[in-house]
Chains A and B, each alone.
Chain A
Amino acid sequence: MLGEVSLFPFWLSLKVATIATLLVILVGLPLAYFLARKRFAGSEIIVASTMLPIVLPPTVLGYYLLVLLGRNTIFGKFYEGIAGSPLVFTWQGAVVASAVASSPYIVRTAMAAIQSVPREMEDAARTLGLSELQIALRITLPLAWKGILAGVVLAYAKAIGEFGATLMIAGNIPGETQTLPIAIYDAVQAGKSDLANLLSISLAVLAISAVLLVGGLGKSRL
């Protein structure tokens, strides 16, 4: 039967997805705000390129991340110099893979949510003397938060299920970089169908709850 099930993949997946989502919020939300409100030469190219992580096959995305962040690259050396350990084939690498793969969900939904706030609201705030930062924090983001939160939940669901890019950049090291989706793959490869079943159901439950949460948000008034 099942024998002893290691809980490590659960905790790792939760940790990786949480950190990755926070990372995307930190970087993606300002980017979304900027792209939603400013038009400049080349802005459309940047907007289009935010879709790349969805458009590219996960393995291709992972491969390019590997090329970009490997131990002999500028980024890889820079990271290793600061952190003391390499990025690739560590759980931190899995964070990067999840963050990049899930970033479109936050950037695109946040952009749409911010664009749906009438420009007149922001103009009114300007004539009332609010600084641009105050306008973002007190007017635009509070009015767009529902859409942004929906994006965050979707991104989290994507991050927790990320497989292809994570496998490419973090590998499959049990007890170190083996996240839940990779553990499922591993279980199937090893013919442990009971384990695969259990892990799959738990991942499915996580994902479905995320969808339900988004639906609930859409209905709530504020």
Chain B
Amino acid sequence: MDISFRSERAMTVFFGRSGAGKSVTLRSIAGLVVPDSGTIKVGDKVYFDSKSRINLTPQERRTGYVFQSYALFPHLTVAENLLLAMKTVPKRETRYEVRELLEEVGIPELHDRLPGDLSGGEQQRVALARALARNPQVLLLDEPFSAVDVPSRVRLRTLLKRVQRHRNIPTILVTHQALEAFTLGELIVVMDHGKVEQVGPPEEIFYRPKTLTTARLVGVKNIFPGVISEISQDTVYIKQNGKVWEAASLSGLHLSPDQRVSWCIRPEAVMLLREDRPLSLKRENRLSGVIEEVEQRGPVWELFVVSKEGMDLKIELPVHAAQHMGVTEGKEVLVSLKKEAIHIIPEIPDSGF
């Protein structure tokens, strides 16, 4: 594994598939695994440095760790679970501190209960309170919401954001869910196969992925090969199968004519054109095709369109739009790929994923 990142944001998210190395990285920050080499710093405090042979024990590191399984001590009450972490607090203040913490996470009434009698969401809150009990320098959360149902997941996210802002404590959260990474992260570290793929704010990761791996991880489903044919002031022209596509030129990418690239567009950015509208309206990157498949996914419908040129396109439409346009399988449609939504990745697509 080879991981390197630096975050000055309050909420950093490790994002990637399972086995990407997210949890191991989190564990090494807490001191639960020892890296072969490198440096780990939290604030000004050096936790680990292989060169100067610094390796603080987990006990010396003051991290607040929330485990995926919560790892609450089943033989101790909620209050006792918290008390264990409060060695530095004077005895007479601990009772008060425990109450404060439980208030903060919204479960003061669970003080004397055993973890086994609590719901997943309640256990999650206890785990968070316990992680905060030591007044940690950094909060580490390993897939904290994976074991709770969706409604409590939303409430817990809100709680986490509030606690995190209120305490102003740097936080690292591990997740394999793109949506969670997008909504919670201020900085996202995309990991794959033990390496960092990309580091950046959510908008950049989701709309301007730098590698094909990142693009696929964040749900960019339409990825095509192409060759740069021309670069103008504000437009990049990409040739593919005799057709030329226009993409908005993006600074920061060093492209040159004849370069082989990948270009992609998010499924929700593909526009379905209405037949009753005059065709004279300027629409870039038009293509026509047939709806092969419609998948209704609650608020969003996913269409699978095959164009006349044989391109496979995935399109996501809000229900009302899909119904309004009478989307059905077998229907011929006209599609526009907005120039601004087309993103170029200077990498040649491979077949496997």
Residues of A within 8 A of B (CB): 118, 120-121, 123-131, 138-139, 142-143, 222
Q: Is residue B130 within 8 Å, beta carbon to beta carbon, of the partner chain?
A: yes
Given A123-B67, A126-B32, A129-B134, residue A143 in contact with residue B75 (CB < 8 A): yes
Tell whether, in the assembled complex, residue A222 and residue B75 are in contact, meaning their CB atoms are under 8 Å apart: yes
> Besides the contacts A125-B84, A128-B85, A138-B84, what 15 more A-B pairs have beta carbons closer than 8 Å?
A121-B71, A123-B32, A123-B67, A123-B71, A124-B65, A125-B73, A126-B57, A127-B30, A127-B31, A127-B58, A127-B131, A128-B84, A129-B59, A129-B85, A143-B75
Q: Is residue B133 within 8 Å, beta carbon to beta carbon, of the partner chain?
A: yes
Tell whether, in the assembled complex, residue A126 and residue B84 are in contact, meaning their CB atoms are under 8 Å apart: no
Binary flags per residue of B16-31, CB closer than 8 Å to A gives 1, else 0:
0000000000010011
Residue from the list B58, B61, B62, B64 in contact with A123, Cβ < 8 A: B58
Residue from the list B31, B59, B61, B133 in contact with A131, Cβ < 8 A: B59
Which residues of chain A are within 8 angstroms of B168 by Cβ–Cβ distance?
none
Closest beta carbon of chain B to A177's beta carbon, Å: 43
Docked complex Cα distance between A190 and B211 (Å): 90
**How many A-B contacts if CB must be within 8 Å?**
57
What residue of chain A has the Cβ atom nearest to residue B82's Cβ?
A128
Q: Is residue B69 within 8 Å, beta carbon to beta carbon, of the partner chain?
A: yes
Docked complex Cα distance between A84 and B87 (Å): 48
Q: Is residue B74 within 8 Å, beta carbon to beta carbon, of the partner chain?
A: yes
Q: Interface SS of chain A: helix, strand, loop or mixed?
A: helix
Closest beta carbon of chain B to A124's beta carbon, Å: 4
What residue of chain B has the Cβ atom nearest to residue A131's Cβ?
B59
Which residues of chain B are within 8 angstroms of A130 by Cβ–Cβ distance?
59, 84
Tell whether, in the assembled complex, residue A120 and residue B67 are in contact, meaning their CB atoms are under 8 Å apart: yes
Residue of A118, A123, A139, A142 contacting most chain B CB atoms (<10 Å): A123
Tell whether, in the assembled complex, residue B75 and residue A124 are in contact, meaning their CB atoms are under 8 Å apart: no
Given A121-B73, A139-B73, A142-B75, residue A127 in contact with residue B84 (CB < 8 A): no
Binary flags per residue of B56-93, CB closer than 8 Å to A gives 1, else 0:
01110111110101011111000000001101000000
Docked complex Cα distance between A222 and B75 (Å): 8
Closest beta carbon of chain A to B187's beta carbon, Å: 23
Docked complex Cα distance between A138 and B87 (Å): 14
Which residues of chain A are within 8 angstroms of B32 by Cβ–Cβ distance?
123, 126-127
Tell whether, in the assembled complex, residue A126 and residue B75 are in contact, meaning their CB atoms are under 8 Å apart: no
Docked complex Cα distance between A124 and B71 (Å): 6
Residue from the list A127, A138, A139 in contact with B65, Cβ < 8 A: A127
Closest beta carbon of chain B to A62's beta carbon, Å: 41
What residue of chain A has the Cβ atom nearest to residue B72's Cβ?
A124
What residue of chain B has the Cβ atom nearest to residue A134's Cβ?
B84
Docked complex Cα distance between A124 and B69 (Å): 11
Docked complex Cα distance between A143 and B114 (Å): 14
Tell whether, in the assembled complex, residue B63 and residue A127 are in contact, meaning their CB atoms are under 8 Å apart: yes
Q: Identify 9 residue pairs between A and B in the complex whose beta-carbon atoms are under 8 Å apart, listed by A's number.
A: A124-B71, A125-B73, A126-B57, A127-B32, A127-B58, A127-B63, A127-B65, A129-B62, A138-B84
Tell whether, in the assembled complex, residue B74 and residue A120 are in contact, meaning their CB atoms are under 8 Å apart: no
Which residues of chain A are within 8 angstroms of B31 by Cβ–Cβ distance?
126-127
Given A138-B84, A143-B75, residue A128 in contact with residue B130 (CB < 8 A): yes
Given A120-B67, A123-B67, residue A128 in contact with residue B133 (CB < 8 A): yes
Which residues of chain B are within 8 angstroms of A131 by Cβ–Cβ distance?
59
